[in-house]
Amino acid sequence: MADTFTTRTIDVTTGTTETVHDLTDACASFLREVAAGRDGLLNVFTPHARQA
């Protein structure tokens, strides 16, 4: 098991209307950069959204 973890924060601003934001490209880009084709676990944490 690897000793290191890599973290990236993606800020998404959605405005005042309900919307869906596709994170697929951001996740795929992250994995290309850090995973180098290895197996692993991608954990996406989405905290509760705040209303502006």
The string of pLDDT tens digits covering residues 6-48 is: 888 888 887 788 888 899 999 999 999 888 888 888 898 887 6
- pLDDT of res. 3: 62
Which tokens sit at 10?
């993606």
Does 37 fall in a domain? yes
Residues 44 and 30 sit within 8 Å (Cβ to Cβ) = no
Does 15 fall in a domain? no
- Give the distance from CA 41 to its chain's centroid: 12
Q: What is the DSSP string of 5-41?
A: -----------SS------HHHHHHHHHHHTTT----
Count of domains for the chain = 1
Q: What is the pTM of this model?
A: 0.68
Does 14 fall in a domain? no
Does 35 fall in a domain? yes
Q: Which domain holds residue 41?
A: 22-51
Q: Which residues 6+ apart lie within 8 Å of 30 measured at CB?
A: 6, 8, 42
